[in-house]
């Protein structure tokens, strides 16, 4: 059964949020909290 557009968007949003949190966690481990910037996180 195909997912509705809203359900698909919610799933994509959750996946993106998870990826961002994981990337932020990795940056904090590597560079410390002071090294965490939006610019670095976006890369």
Q: Are 23 and 41 in contact (CB under 8 A)?
A: yes
Tokens 């939006």 correspond to what residue? 38
List % helix, strand, coil for the chain (3-state, nearest 5). 80, 0, 20
pLDDT at 42: 86
Among residues of the chain, what percentage have pLDDT more than 90?
A: 67
C-alpha 8/C-alpha 19 separation (Å) is 17
Q: Are 24 and 36 in contact (CB under 8 A)?
A: yes
- Residue-level pLDDT, tens digit, the chain, 43 residues: 567 888 999 999 999 999 999 999 999 999 999 988 999 888 8
| Single pTM value for the model | 0.73
C-alpha 37/C-alpha 15 separation (Å) is 21
């Amino acid at each position: 059964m195909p997912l509705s557009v809203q359900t698909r968007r919610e799933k994509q949003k959750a996946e993106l949020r998870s990826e961002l949190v994981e990337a932020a966690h990795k940056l904090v481990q590597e560079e410390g909290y002071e090294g965490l910037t939006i610019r670095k996180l976006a890369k």
